[in-house]
Amino acid sequence: MGLALPSEGGCQCGEIRYRLTGEPVWLGVCHCNDCKMQSGGVFGMSLRMREADVKLISGEPKCWTRPAENGGRAKNCYFCGTCGIRLWHTSGLGFLSIKPGTLDDSSLLAPRYEGWTKRKAPWLTINGLEVSHHTQPSRK
């Protein structure tokens, strides 16, 4: 996946900093309406990490909870209360979905999976993907 460990990241204003210490589970692109709205683009990205492999270095993120678009469990969305940057979200399964754009260096990360392709922009092509899901991928 191209992530040097440990790897650090944080919000835009620098108030919140975190460190990744373990190998990522996966990196994916999501085309659901929630992810598009959150990212302000035509898709969102999530770097799935085990909670134990993410350490908060400084700051205290704020959290708000929303229902998932797919009708699944609620998502706890963590963000900086000062600059508003979304850092990660959780669904209570022992994982964090880090927003990879908040890493200090995400240049070598390449997604392998995508979900909600039924909502994908028709002009968008992402090379190198291993699996595409028409809707929500299973939680395996």
- pLDDT tens for 45-65 read 999 999 999 999 999 999 999
Architecture of domain 7-131: Beta Complex (2.170)
Per-residue model confidence (pLDDT) at position 1: 58
pTM of the model: 0.86
Q: HSE of 36 in the Cβ direction (CA atoms, 13 Å)?
A: 13
pLDDT per residue as tens digits for the range 69-127: 656 678 899 999 999 999 999 877 899 999 999 999 998 889 999 999 999 999 999 99
State the pLDDT at residue 138. Answer: 66
H or E segment at 34? Answer: helix 33-39
pLDDT of residue 2: 72
What is the pLDDT at residue 59?
98
Rounded-to-integer distance, Cα 137 and Cα 132, Å: 8
Q: How far is CA 47 from CA 102, 122, 123, in A?
A: 11, 24, 24
Name the more confident of 115 and 2. Answer: 115
